[in-house]
Structure 1
Amino acid sequence: METLSEHKGRCVCGAVSITARPESLNVDVCHCSTCRQWSGGPLMVASCGTRVDFEGEERISTFASSEWAQRGFCSGCGTHLFFRLNASGQYLVPVGLLQSDGAWRLKSQVFIDQKPAFYSFCERTHDLTGEELFAKHA
């Protein structure tokens, strides 16, 4: 049985701190072109529901990257802080931002149809195309 706890992190310049309470220790990966452009590679996130607290909120800038979500980043150093769904307020937090004991496990990949051929993961994951993802959440 996994034990979930608070995971803390901060941006590179230290102006924004985060306390997140992940729903599990699963890491989800998004290969969509927007996430790859934003992060420089696949975006690896922990789903934290609405259980995220910030210190230094005045330094957080957001960008509405789609009709359904916003991306948050530190206005000082540019560190990516979250992807937040507008309808539910759910936070997906880049797992590299969170201090961890290494217990994370790669669980799923979305927009697998947009994944470039030059990288791949060896873990077995639950994979969805963009169309399958939208159909699942429609």
Structure 2
Amino acid sequence: MTARTGRCLCGAVKFKATPKIESDGVHVDACHCGMCRRQVGGPMMAVNLEGAPEIEDDSHVGVHHSSDWAERVFCKTCGSNLFYRLRDGSLHTVNAGALDDLSDAKFAVEIFIDEKPDYYDFAQPTRKLTGEEVFKMFAEAQGK
């Protein structure tokens, strides 16, 4: 898969990122956890990546250590939310809206569905995972 280009709202942070290809193509997934909703004002729409993104100039990049296991990466100039990553480097995602082209992507998975407020729903059928299921999945992937 070829790397795709992306940027923050003001263009100070430009990057290349390679989406992870699932059996049915590129996925855009939603996270309904309270931290994501507080950060972006609704569900976080993100794309899993094959490794870390390549940032052209990281002088405008800020990092917030949002938990013992994860970091949220943003543009220090315009405040755009760009990436979510596990601190151990085992997972990198990009905010779907920061990529220049996702014309081939499909909305596939919703995580932390048990934290989703009642005031919104998505029309598309998706795979839905609770927070407990997500943490179990990560633990199994790390052999714990």
Q: TM-score, normalised by structure 1?
A: 0.92
- The residue type equivalent to 2:2 in the other structure is S
For residues 44 and 19 of structure 1, the distance between their equivalents in structure 2, rounded to whole angstroms, comes to: 18
Percent of aligned pairs sharing the same letter: 39
Runs of 4+ in 1 over 4 A off after TM superposition: none
Q: Who is 1:39 aligned against?
A: 40
Deviation at 1:74, TM superposition (A): 0.5
Structure 1 residue aligned with 2:60: 59
Structure-2 change in CA distance of 1:88 and 1:51 (3 Å): closer
User: What is aligned with 1:6?
Assistant: 3
Total equivalences in the alignment: 135
Letter in 1 for 2:110: Q
1:59–1:89 CA distance, 2 compared to 1 (3 A): farther
Match of 2:28 in 1: 27
Find the counterpart in structure 1 of residue 78 from structure 2. Answer: 77
Unaligned runs of at least 5 residues, structure 1: none
Unaligned runs of 5+ residues in structure 2 are: 140-144
Alpha carbons 1:28, 1:106 under 8 Å: kept: yes
Contact 1:29 1:44 in 2 (8 A): yes
Q: Distance in 2 between matches of 1:64 and 1:94?
A: 17
Letter in 2 for 1:60: V
- Over aligned residue pairs, what C-alpha RMSD do you find? 1.2
Aligned position for 1:109: 110
Query: What TM-score, normalized by structure 2, do the two folds share?
Result: 0.89
Offset at residue 73 of structure 1 (A): 0.4
